[in-house]
């Protein structure tokens, strides 16, 4: 799987750990930054990862900041991107199965490294179920394109 990863300074350490884990699992990972602990703006990295997913250059995205929330808000501005902030394994699995989320957002200040690895593994193991969930994802995409669900 091709995965685009990004973080701001507050998520750098966790992102580096997760990128290393992904590569050990055999995934192709493009780390789009930041590569420094110097203060930076999370929307820049959220946009880079979201654009990679949107363009099909990456199958999935991974974003890490202090809470994961800012990254998700920014990434979800791009049509076709369904970014989810996750802090437990059940939600990681469910958001892929039911929402076809394609960008995982984590908070370095919220989850520890061990839990983050478990969340990432649960995320990777889950598959979109389609069926009744596809209708709902289609409505989300309609909202992004037209501002309404129909």
**pLDDT tens digits, 51-110:** 999 999 999 999 999 999 999 999 999 999 999 999 999 999 999 999 999 999 999 999
**Does 9 participate in catalysis according to the annotation?**
no
Say how far apart CA 131 and CA 116 lie, in whole Å.
29
Instruction: Report the alpha-carbon distance of residue 109 to residue 116 in Å, rounded.
Output: 11
* Domain spanning 2-146: CATH superfamily: Sugar-phosphate isomerase, RpiB/LacA/LacB (3.40.1400.10)
CB neighbours (10 Å) of residue 31?
A: 18
Left, alpha or beta for 52 (phi > 0: left; psi -120 to 50: alpha)?
A: alpha
Determine the pLDDT at residue 120.
Answer: 98
What integer pLDDT is reported at residue 76 of this predicted model?
95
* Residue 140 banded pLDDT, cuts 50, 70, 90: confident
Q: Could you say which of 21, 27, 98, 133 is catalytic? A: 98
| Mean pLDDT, range 25-33, rounded to an integer | 98
Angle (CA) 86-74-119 rounded to 5° is 15
Answer yes or no: pTM beyond 0.85: yes
Question: Out of 65, 93, 105, 133, which one is annotated catalytic?
Answer: 65
Question: What's the sign of the alpha-carbon dihedral 21, 25, 26, 29?
Answer: negative
Is 105 annotated in the active site? no
Q: Where are the domains of the chain?
A: 2-146
């Amino acid at each position: 799987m091709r995965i685009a990863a990004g973080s701001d300074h507050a998520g750098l350490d966790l992102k580096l750990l997760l990128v290393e884990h992904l590569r050990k699992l055999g995934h192709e990972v493009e780390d789009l930054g930041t590569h420094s602990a110097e203060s930076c703006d999370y929307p820049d990295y959220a946009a880079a990862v979201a654009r990679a997913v949107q363009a099909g250059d990456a199958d999935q995205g991974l974003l890490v900041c202090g809470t994961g929330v800012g990254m998700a808000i920014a990434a979800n501005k791009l049509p076709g991107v369904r970014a989810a902030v996750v802090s437990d394994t059940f939600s990681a699995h469910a958001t892929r199965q039911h929402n076809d989320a394609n960008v995982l957002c984590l908070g370095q200040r919220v989850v520890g490294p061990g839990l983050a690895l478990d969340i990432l593994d649960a995320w990777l193991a889950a598959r979109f179920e389609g069926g009744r969930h596809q209708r709902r994802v289609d409505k989300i995409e309609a909202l992004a394109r037209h501002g309404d669900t129909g």
